[in-house]
Structure 1
Amino acid sequence: MVFNSYEFVLIFLPIFLLAYNVLRSIGRKKGNARVLVDLCIILGSLCFYALFGMRNLAIIFISICINVCTAIPMSFMRERGIGISLFGREILIHKLWLSIGVILNVVLLLFFKLWGVFLPIAISFYTFNQISYIVDLERGDIEKFDIMNYLAYILFFPKLLQGPLMGYGDFDKEVKAACEKSFDYEIFLRAMYLFSIGVFKKVIMADTIGRAVDANFQWLVGMGSIEAVLTAVFYSFQLYFDFSGYCDMAAAVSMMLGIELPINFDSPYKAVNIVDFWKRWHITLTRFFTKYVYIPLGGNRKGEVRTYINFMIIFLISGFWHGTGWTFIIWGAMHGVLYVITRWYGKHRENAKINDVSVGGAIVKGIKILLTFIYVTAAWVFFRAETIEDALILFGQIFKGGVRSFSNGFSAAFQIDELWYILKVTPLMKLSNAWELCAWIFFACSAVMIFFFPNAVRRCKEVKLGIGTTLLTVLLLVWSIVSFGGVSTFLYMNF
C-alpha cells in the first residue's frame, strides 16, 4: 500500500487518524499518552507494511531482532564497562558488540541487494535507521533502550518507505511533543493542502512523465535530437516530482499526527553547483553518510587529499547503494568528481558572490543553476539506462538524431484526458502536431514548478488559508484520486 492509492487515502489514513487521536486523548487524561501513541504507531505501521506482503514483513522482523539483540546486551555491557583483551589490546566489549551488529545489518542489506531472490520494500531505509540507532545508543546519545520507543521510531510509516532518515533524538522529541497536543483543525487543513500538492506531483506529473520516459528508453535509436533531449530532461523531472511528491505526502501525514519530519528535499534543481545540490537532494541521506561513514573515515581531519578521497568514497558507495551495475557507479563517480573539483575550487578562490542580488549577479546565478541542472541531468541518464551502451546511444541521438516527429509512445503518454478536453475546444486541435503540444505543455508546467515555485513544506506553513487554498486542495486531490487507476510505486522504494 502506497500513499497514492485508494486503500491508503480512503481507508487506512482516516481509520489510523481516528484511532491515533482517540488514543492520544485518552492517554493525556490517564497520563500514559506516550505508551498509547507508540502502540498506535507500531500496530498501524505494521498493518501498513504488511500489505506489501508477508515476506517483506518477515525481513523487517529479522532486521528488528538483529538490532534488539544488539541493543540490549550492548547497553548492559556499556553500563558496566566490560572489556576484553584482543590481539594484545584492551577493547571495551560493547564496542565490539556494536561492530558485530553493524556488520550484520550491512550483510542483511547486501544479501538482498546482491544475492537475494527479491528486494524487500524499504530495506535500505529501515536498515540505515537501525544502524543510526545502535550507534547513537553506544555513543550515549540515546540514554537507554526502550522497546516501545525503538519500535515506534523504526516502524513509523510516514518515513518508513523512503525516509527521511530522522535521528532517534529528533523523533523522540517530536513524539513527546505530539503526546501533549490535541487535534488542531488548522494544522490538519495545512497538512491536507500539502498532501494534495504531493499526490499531484506524484500521480499527475511524475507518473505521466514516467510513461513517456519508459516508452523512449525502449527504442533509443529511433529518437530525433529534440526528443532525445526531452527524454533526458523529463527523466530529471520525473525523479524530482516522484521524490518531492513522496516527501510532501510524508510530511503532510506526519503533520496530521502532530509530528514534524525534517525537510528532505529542498528545491534541488535550484542549486548553483553540485555541492549546493547535495545540500538540497535527499538531505537526510547525505547527513547519514556524513555522520556514519565520512566522519569515521577521517572526514577532513587527515589533510586535503584524504578529504577528497573520502568524498569520492562516499559518492561511490552512494552509487553502489542505488544499484550494482556500472551505470550507477558512473553516476556516483560523476557526482563525486565534480563535487571534489567544486569543493577544491571553492576553498581556493576568493570573494565568491553566489548570493549577489544585482541584475548581473542574478544572471550569473541563473547560468550556474542551468549548468548544474544540465550536468545532473547527464548523470541521471546513466542512472536510468539499463547499460552504459544505452546511455551512450541516448547521448548520440542528441547530437545526430536530426529533426523528427515525436514517437507515438512518447507523445501518447502526455495525452491525458484533461488536456484532451482543453485542446478539443481550441483551434490547436486542427494542427497536425497537436498532440506533441501536450508534451511541451508538460515541459513548461514542470519547469515553472521546479525552478520558480517555493518549497511546498514551507509554503504550507506560511500560506493564508482561505477559499483559494481550499479550492486548490480539493481540485488537486480529486484530480489525483480519480487518476489512481494507474497507481505506481515510488522510484526510491526500489533502493
Structure 2
Amino acid sequence: MLFNSFEFIFLFLPITFIIYFLLNRFRNQQYAIYWLVLSSLIFYGYFKLTYLAIITISIVVNFALSRVISSTNSRWRKTYMIIGVIFNIIILCYYKYTDFFIGNINSLFGTNFALLHLLLPLGLSFITFQQIAFIVDSYRDGTAHYKFSHYALFILFFPQLIAGPIVQHDEMLPQYDTKGNRKIIYEHVARGLFIFAIGLVKKVVIADTVGIWANEGFANYSNLSFIEAWITSLSYTVQLYYDFSGYSDMAIGLALLFNIKLPVNFYSPYKARNIQEFWKKWHMTLNRFLTTYVYFPLGGSRKGAFRTYINILIIFFISGFWHGAGWNFVLWGLMHGFASVVVRLFSKTRIKLPYLLSWFMTFQFVNIAWIYFRATSIEQANTIIAKMFTPNMTAITNFFTEPHTNFAQAGAFNILGLSFSDPIVIVVGLLITLVIAFTALNSIQLMDKMKFNWGAIIYTQFMIALVLVSIYYMQKNSIFLYFNF
C-alpha cells in the first residue's frame, strides 16, 4: 500500500485516524497504541504477508535483548549488545547482500553458485539501523522502562516504516504517552494535510513525470547525444529530489495527523554550498545515525587528521553499501567520502570561493555522483558521463530540430496536449523544477509560516487544489525510489 494510492488515502488512512481517536476518547491510550500497531502491521503486510513474520521475529528478539541489556549489571551486557547488533546485521545481509556476495565469488573464482534471488523486505535497511540504535542505547542509557507495545509502534509506525526517517527512541516513545496528544488537534490536522498534499504533488506530479525522461535516458544510454546525456542525468537528479522530498513531507504530515512529530529528514539539499552542507540537508537522520553510532565510536575527529579522514571514508562506504548491493553504490558513497575530505582540507586554506561558484560545483558533483547511484553498472554510468563531457553543437541543434528516438517512449504521456517527448517540454520542465529546488522555500518552511487566521483559507484552498491535481496523476501509482533501499 503506497501513500500515493487511492486505497491508502481514501480507505486505510481515514479508518485508522477515526478509530485511533475514538479509542483514545472512549477507552484508553493503550488501546489506541494497540490499534496503531495493528494498523501498521496491516499496512506492511499489504505489500507481502511473509514480511510480517520477518519483522515480527526481529522486533521480539530485539526487544528481549534490550530488556536483558538494560536490566543486568553483569559484564555480559556488552556481549549481549554486540550479539544484538550482529543479529540485525545478519538479517539485513542475508536478504540484501547474499546474491551480491555470491555473484562476486562466482566472478572471482570461476564458480557457478546459484543466486538465491531473495526478495528484500520493504524498509528492512531503515528498520535495521533503527533497531541497532535502540540496542546500543539500551547498553548506554537503559531502555527497560519502555513497554513492548510502545517499542513495536516505534519500529512499525506506518508513516516512517518503509523509508524513514530513521528515528530514535528518546524523540519518539515519550510522545506516545503525552496526554495532550490523545485528542484531535485541528492545527496539527491542518498542518499535516497541508504538507502531505505538497509531498503528494512532488511525488505524483513532478517526480513521476520527470522520471519518464530519466528512465528513457538510462535505458538508451549507449545512444545518447551530448545534450541527451545531460537531460538524462538532470532528470534523475530532479526525480530523486522530489521523490524523496515528497515522501519525507508525506511522512511528516501523516504522523502529525496523530499528533506525532517526526524529525525533519530533508531540507533543501540542492541549495548546499559544499558536500558537508549537503549531507546536513539530505537524509539527515541517516547522517545522524552514522555519525552517532559509527563515526564517534571510531574516534570521530579526536585522533588526528589522518584518522579523521579514514573515519569519514568508512561512514560513506557504509552509506553507499547500505543504499544498495552493488559496486556502483559503493563507488557513489566513496565519491561523497573523498569529496567531504577535500572540503575539510580546503577549509584549512581559508580561501573562500564565491557563493555561486561553490554552489554550482557542489550541485554538479552531486548530479554526476547520482549517475552511479541510478545506473545498473559502473560501465553504464561511465558511458553517460563520457557523453556529458563530449560537447557537440550539432547534437544540440539536432535535438531541437530533428526527431529523436531516445525519448520517443515518453511521447506516450501527455497533458494539456503537450507531449513529454517534445524537446521544449523536456527542457522547460527541467528548468522549472530545478529553479524551484534552487530558490523556493521548502515545505517545512511553508508549513512553519502557516498561520491560523483568514490567511489559512488560502492555504486550505491551495491544499485542495494540490490534492485534486495529484488525484489526476495518481493513476500511475508508482513506488517511492527509497522503497528500493
Q: Kindly tell me: are residues 178 and 199 of structure 1, through their superposed partners in 2, closer, same or farther at Cα, counting changes over 3 Å? A: farther
Give the Cα–Cα distance (whole angstroms) in 1 for the partners of residues 68 and 437 of structure 2. Answer: 48
Q: What is the CA distance between 1:373 and its match in structure 2? A: 0.5
Q: Where do residues 443-458 of structure 1 align in structure 2 (5 Å cutoff)?
A: 443-458=430-445
Q: Where do residues 116-131 of structure 1 align in structure 2 (5 Å cutoff)?
A: 117-131=118-132
1:114/1:324 contact within 8 Å kept: yes
What is the letter of the counterpart of residue 57 of structure 2? I
Q: Which residue of 2 is the match for residue 394 of structure 1?
A: 384
2:67/2:143 contact within 8 Å kept: no
Give SS of 2:177's match: helix
Q: What is the CA distance between 1:180 and its match in structure 2? A: 4.0
Match of 1:377 among 359, 363, 367: 367
Give the Cα–Cα distance (whole angstroms) in 2 for the partners of residues 411 and 181 of structure 1. Answer: 53
Q: What is the CA distance between 1:179 and its match in structure 2? A: 4.9
Match of 2:475 among 460, 476, 485: 485
Q: What is the CA distance between 1:139 and its match in structure 2? A: 1.2
What is the letter of the counterpart of residue 158 of structure 1? P
Q: What is the CA distance between 1:441 and its match in structure 2? A: 2.6
Which string of whole-angstrom CA distances, capped at 9 and with x for unpartnered residues, describes residues 355-378 of structure 1? xxxxxxxxx212221110000111
What is the letter of the counterpart of residue 371 of structure 1? M
What is the letter of the counterpart of residue 356 of structure 2? G
Q: Which residue of 2 is the match for residue 436 of structure 1?
A: 423
Give the Cα–Cα distance (whole angstroms) in 1 for the partners of residues 335 and 484 of structure 2. Answer: 22
1:75/1:137 contact within 8 Å kept: yes
Give the Cα–Cα distance (whole angstroms) in 2 for the partners of residues 202 and 122 of structure 1. Answer: 18
Q: Where do residues 221-300 of structure 1 align in structure 2 (5 Å cutoff)?
A: 221-300=222-301
Q: What is the CA distance between 1:463 and its match in structure 2? A: 2.5
Q: What is the CA distance between 1:141 and its match in structure 2? A: 5.0
Q: Which residue of 2 is the match for residue 358 of structure 1?
A: none
Give the Cα–Cα distance (whole angstroms) in 1 for the partners of residues 435 and 408 of structure 2. Answer: 20
What is the letter of the counterpart of residue 380 of structure 1? W
Q: What is the CA distance between 1:221 and its match in structure 2? A: 2.3
1:267/1:450 contact within 8 Å kept: yes
Q: What is the CA distance between 1:13 and its match in structure 2? A: 0.4
2:319/2:333 contact within 8 Å kept: yes
1:312/1:336 contact within 8 Å kept: yes
Q: Where do residues 49-88 of structure 1 align in structure 2 (5 Å cutoff)?
A: 49-77=44-72, 81-82=73-74
Q: What is the CA distance between 1:72 and its match in structure 2? A: 2.6
Q: What is the CA distance between 1:160 and its match in structure 2? A: 0.6
Q: Which residue of 1 is the match for residue 184 of structure 2?
A: 183
Q: What is the CA distance between 1:184 and its match in structure 2? A: 2.3
What is the letter of the counterpart of residue 67 of structure 2? I
Q: Where do residues 319-338 of structure 1 align in structure 2 (5 Å cutoff)?
A: 319-338=320-339
2:123/2:162 contact within 8 Å kept: yes
Q: Kindly tell me: are residues 195 and 48 of structure 1, through their superposed partners in 2, closer, same or farther at Cα, counting changes over 3 Å? A: same
Which string of whole-angstrom CA distances, capped at 9 and with x for unpartnered residues, describes residues 248-304 of structure 1? 000001111111111000100000000000000000000001111111111122211
Q: Which residue of 2 is the match for residue 170 of structure 1?
A: 171
Give the Cα–Cα distance (whole angstroms) in 2 for the partners of residues 214 and 438 of structure 1. Answer: 16
Which string of whole-angstrom CA distances, capped at 9 and with x for unpartnered residues, describes residues 6-46 of structure 1? 1100100010110111122235xxxx42x133212211111
Q: What is the CA distance between 1:399 and its match in structure 2? A: 3.3
What is the letter of the counterpart of residue 135 of structure 1? V
Match of 2:33 among 18, 23, 38: 38
2:196/2:250 contact within 8 Å kept: yes
Which string of whole-angstrom CA distances, capped at 9 and with x for unpartnered residues, describes residues 22-76 of structure 1? 122235xxxx42x133212211111111101111112111211321331232233
What is the letter of the counterpart of residue 45 of structure 2? A
1:206 matches 2:201 = no
Q: Which residue of 1 is the match for residue 10 of structure 2?
A: 10
Give SS of 1:311's match: helix
Q: What is the CA distance between 1:416 and its match in structure 2? A: 4.6
Which string of whole-angstrom CA distances, capped at 9 and with x for unpartnered residues, describes residues 202-233 of structure 1? 11111111121111111112222111111111
Give the Cα–Cα distance (whole angstroms) in 1 for the partners of residues 445 and 381 of structure 2. Answer: 36
Q: What is the CA distance between 1:143 and its match in structure 2? A: 4.9
Q: Which residue of 1 is the match for residue 109 of structure 2?
A: none
Match of 1:114 among 97, 108, 111: 97
1:315/1:332 contact within 8 Å kept: yes
What is the letter of the counterpart of residue 111 of structure 1? Y
Which string of whole-angstrom CA distances, capped at 9 and with x for unpartnered residues, describes residues 413-437 of structure 1? 37754342xx5xxxxx9xxx99222
Q: What is the CA distance between 1:199 and its match in structure 2? A: 0.6
Which string of whole-angstrom CA distances, capped at 9 and with x for unpartnered residues, describes residues 96-132 of structure 1? 1111111011011001111261111000111111111
* Structure 2 residue runs without a partner (length 5+): 99-115
Q: What is the CA distance between 1:340 and its match in structure 2? A: 0.7
Aligned-pair identity (%):
38
Q: What is the CA distance between 1:140 and its match in structure 2? A: 1.6
Q: Where do residues 301-312 of structure 1 align in structure 2 (5 Å cutoff)?
A: 301-312=302-313
1:251/1:457 contact within 8 Å kept: no
Give the Cα–Cα distance (whole angstroms) in 2 for the partners of residues 268 and 374 of structure 1. Answer: 13
1:340 matches 2:320 = no
2:275/2:340 contact within 8 Å kept: yes
Give the Cα–Cα distance (whole angstroms) in 2 for the partners of residues 161 and 455 of structure 1. Answer: 23
Give the Cα–Cα distance (whole angstroms) in 2 for the partners of residues 99 and 221 of structure 1. Answer: 47
Q: Kindly tell me: are residues 414 and 147 of structure 1, through their superposed partners in 2, closer, same or farther at Cα, counting changes over 3 Å? A: farther
Q: What is the CA distance between 1:384 and its match in structure 2? A: 1.0
Give the Cα–Cα distance (whole angstroms) in 1 for the partners of residues 33 and 151 of structure 2. Answer: 9
What is the letter of the counterpart of residue 285 of structure 1? L
Question: For this pair of structures, how many residues does the alignment match?
Answer: 457
Give the Cα–Cα distance (whole angstroms) in 2 for the partners of residues 299 and 400 of structure 1. Answer: 41
Give the Cα–Cα distance (whole angstroms) in 2 for the partners of residues 261 and 437 of structure 1. Answer: 40
Q: What is the CA distance between 1:400 and its match in structure 2? A: 3.4
1:154/1:160 contact within 8 Å kept: yes
Q: Which residue of 1 is the match for residue 106 of structure 2?
A: none
Q: What is the CA distance between 1:409 and its match in structure 2? A: 5.3
Give the Cα–Cα distance (whole angstroms) in 1 for the partners of residues 159 and 233 of structure 2. Answer: 30
Q: Kindly tell me: are residues 63 and 225 of structure 1, through their superposed partners in 2, closer, same or farther at Cα, counting changes over 3 Å? A: same
Q: Kindly tell me: are residues 174 and 449 of structure 1, through their superposed partners in 2, closer, same or farther at Cα, counting changes over 3 Å? A: farther
What is the letter of the counterpart of residue 94 of structure 2? F
1:265/1:280 contact within 8 Å kept: yes
Q: Which residue of 2 is the match for residue 426 of structure 1?
A: none
Give the Cα–Cα distance (whole angstroms) in 2 for the partners of residues 197 and 411 of structure 1. Answer: 30
2:150/2:176 contact within 8 Å kept: no
Q: Which residue of 2 is the match for residue 360 of structure 1?
A: none
TM-score (structure 2 length as normaliser): 0.90
Give the Cα–Cα distance (whole angstroms) in 2 for the partners of residues 249 and 76 of structure 1. Answer: 38
